Amino acid sequence: MIAWEANIRRVVPYVPGDQPKGDRLVKLNTNENPYPPAPGVRKALLEMDYDRLRKYPDPIASDLVDVLAEYYGLGSDQVFVGVGSDDVIAMSFLTFFNSAKPILFPDVSYSFYKVWADLFRIPFETPALDAAFRICPEDYFKENGGIIFPNPNAPTGLYLPLDQVEAIIRRNPDVIVIVDEAYIDFGGTSALKLIETYDNLLVVQTFSKSRSMAGLRIGFAMGNPQLIKALNDVKYSYNSYTMNMPSLVLGKEAVKDDTYFKETLKKIIDTRERSKKRLRELGFTFPDSMSNFIFASHKTVPAAEIFEALRKEQIYVRYFKQPRLDDSLRISIGTEEEMNVLFGFLEHYLAERA
Ligand SMILES: *Cc1c(COP(=O)(O)O)cnc(C)c1O
């Protein structure tokens, strides 16, 4: 081994879903929103002053922070923004998870948590979900260095009722509890209202799913001013200008158009509920999703085979080749038309297989 190789930081990276190229494909593999961003975003994009690209963006991102604070009824000192919630969560790990005790997150959950813990050398334990893929709050009532879980969870789509989320926060006053609400706009009640009661709670959300802006990379955290200041101190110690100018301008426009936001959410939720019905008719079972995806397994046909068959048809869903997950496919909710292509194919394919 060459001497310097001993000093390379070695990590097993997170593997994002494929971004296949082509026009005719049906892409249901990364939980993107099938509808475009709000019309105001398009207008602002077309009218954007390109000369402003010469300059550094606003380091405190105040326009975006202010509009989010107003929308959620918070002070501007209670909101932190970052380059997608991945950046916000990574910063949060660096900022809040510095105990020698292990942090806790579910064994079946967003697989990036383990990658950050490894990258930052944070010890961790992963309490198992129960047989029905539910988080057991009692598993989090023990000594730990911090807690993070998504709600609704990924890739199951299951929502943990707010009283159970609160129990986890209440029983852990000595550590920071992060609730990753990437999918909360699609169902369930946000833990946001608890931030006034619990100073150890950080709620993280994203523009990538419900606000149709995965390509711009905007995420945000909400919590008490002390937590937000600590996050900003770490951010400024790493990269002062995380948010680029177009994201700041366009993100603000997305928040302003609440009517469009609510209409889009309603369409996706309606399609999700219809999809549950169709999947059941086709012989699938799944946890009851409150998100914009369904984690479905077929009663007779292995998920890996369905995954390959779909891919040949240019229909992309997500398959995790891991214990407990490899019987299921995570199917993002697309437009009605996209879901009809999926169901049309599955109907034929499964009839032939039977
Ligand atoms: C999609 C997702 C994120 C990250 O989203 P960003 O695009 O980085 O905002 C974080 N947590 C969960 C559970 C997700 O599914």
DSSP string, 328-352: -EEEE---HHHHHHHHHHHHHHHHH
Q: How far apart are CA 146 and CA 45, in angstroms?
A: 40
Strands 329-332 and 293-298: antiparallel
Global pTM? 0.96
Strands 284-285 and 329-332: unpaired
292: which 2 tokens? 């914009």
Cβ–ligand 1 distance for 219 under 6 Å, the answer yes
Q: How far apart are CA 13 and CA 112, in angstroms?
A: 8
Cβ–ligand 1 distance for 105 under 6 Å, the answer no
Q: What is the pLDDT of residue 17?
A: 78
Cβ–ligand 1 distance for 180 under 6 Å, the answer yes
Torsion of CA 134, 137, 142, 148, to 10 degrees: 70
Pick from 211, 190, 194: nearest CA to 35: 211
Cβ–ligand 1 distance for 38 under 6 Å, the answer no
Cβ–ligand 1 distance for 251 under 6 Å, the answer no
Q: How far apart are CA 10 and CA 33, in angstroms?
A: 34
Q: Fill in the DSSP letter of residue 34.
A: S
How far away, in angstroms, is 86 Cα from ligand 1 center? 6
Q: What is the pLDDT of residue 20?
A: 82
Q: What is the pLDDT of residue 18?
A: 79
- Asked if 296 contacts 329 with a C-beta cutoff of 8 angstroms, the reply is yes
How far away, in angstroms, is 214 Cα from ligand 1 center? 9
In this structure, what are the phi and psi dihedrals at residue 2, rounded to the nearest 5 degrees?
A: -70, 140
From 64, 180, 211, the mutation candidate for ligand 1 (largest count of ligand atoms within 8 A of CB) is: 180
- Asked if 207 contacts 218 with a C-beta cutoff of 8 angstroms, the reply is yes
- Asked if 205 contacts 220 with a C-beta cutoff of 8 angstroms, the reply is yes
Q: What is the pLDDT of residue 19?
A: 82
Q: Please state which CATH number belongs to domain 17-36+259-353.
A: 3.90.1150.10
131 CB neighbour count, 10 Å cutoff = 7
Cβ–ligand 1 distance for 34 under 6 Å, the answer no
How far away, in angstroms, is 91 Cα from ligand 1 center? 14
What would the DSSP string read from start to end of 276-309?
HHHHHHTTEE-----SSEEEEEESSS-HHHHHHH
Q: How far apart are CA 152 and CA 155, in angstroms?
A: 9
Torsion of CA 42, 47, 50, 52, to 10 degrees: -100
Q: Please state which CATH number belongs to domain 39-256.
A: 3.40.640.10
How far away, in angstroms, is 114 Cα from ligand 1 center? 14
How far away, in angstroms, is 222 Cα from ligand 1 center? 15
In this structure, what are the phi and psi dihedrals at residue 211, rounded to the nearest 5 degrees?
A: -105, 15
How far away, in angstroms, is 350 Cα from ligand 1 center? 32
From 29, 81, 83, 110, the mutation candidate for ligand 1 (largest count of ligand atoms within 8 A of CB) is: 110
Q: How far apart are CA 57 and CA 252, in angstroms?
A: 14
The answer for residues whose C-beta is within 8 angstroms of residue 257's C-beta and 6 or more apart is: 38, 39, 40, 41
Cβ–ligand 1 distance for 206 under 6 Å, the answer yes
Cβ–ligand 1 distance for 157 under 6 Å, the answer no
Q: Return the ligand 1 atom nearest residue 110 CA.
A: 13
Cβ–ligand 1 distance for 214 under 6 Å, the answer yes
Instruction: Cis check for the bond before 287: say yes or no (omega within 30 of 0).
Output: no
Residue of the nearest CA to atom 14 in ligand 1? 182
Q: Return the ligand 1 atom nearest residue 218 CA.
A: 9
Per-residue pLDDT of the chain (354 residues; tens, 9 = 90+): 899 999 999 998 988 877 888 778 999 999 999 999 999 999 999 999 999 999 999 999 999 999 999 999 999 999 999 999 999 999 999 999 999 999 999 999 999 999 999 999 999 999 999 999 999 999 999 999 999 999 999 999 999 999 999 999 999 999 999 999 999 999 999 999 999 999 999 999 999 999 999 999 999 999 999 999 999 999 999 999 999 999 999 999 999 999 999 999 999 999 999 999 999 999 999 999 999 999 999 999 999 999 999 999 999 999 999 989 999 999 999 999 999 999 999 999 999 987
From 185, 208, 291, the mutation candidate for ligand 1 (largest count of ligand atoms within 8 A of CB) is: 208
- Asked if 179 contacts 153 with a C-beta cutoff of 8 angstroms, the reply is no
Residue of the nearest CA to atom 2 in ligand 1? 182
Write down the domain spans for the chain. Answer: 17-36+259-353, 39-256
